[in-house]
Amino acid sequence: MHRAKVNFNAIPTVLMRERIRKVSGPLLQTTFLPEPVSLWNSIYMLSMNPQTQSTPLQKRIHTIQNELARLGPMRPGCLSLQYRKPKEKSGAYYQLSYTYQMKSKTEYVPAELVPQIEQELAEYRRYRELSAEWVDLSIALSRLKMTQWKQTRTAN
């Protein structure tokens, strides 16, 4: 199967023009592309139908999805300043520590790359915050829908 390349940062613009029902698994199902498009990250998008965007929960979820799509390069970890001779505080160097796929890693970071690494770490922290908020809102929205369903069922 042929898979077209997609600029992930352009997806929110595309979403504003065309209505996407769902992105599930590794493939994006749409009506405006001739075939499914593979994405590096799967994401569930709420319908862009104005009727489903009525609740504050859904509006905030949509905002979070757009913010996630705009995130730049990221990486997990903690950047620290180390010393080759700690007692004398000489021989300073930067070290990046992180855990990936259940393995702890430590990498030397040249001083010239520290600003770039700090930006990537900030992007990852923002990703984690947005993801956690999205899950919280999704749970609240699901509970709300279940409550509404129960109310309509008991009303009948």
Domain ranges of the chain: 1-45, 78-122
55: left (phi over 0), alpha (psi -120 to 50) or beta: beta
Task: Read off the pLDDT band of 68 (50, 70, 90).
Answer: very high
**Confidence (pLDDT) at 74:** 97
pTM score, whole prediction: 0.62
pLDDT (mean) for 97-118: 96
**Confidence (pLDDT) at 55:** 84
> Which segments of the chain are extended strands (E)?
22-24, 27-29, 37-38, 78-85, 90-100, 103-109
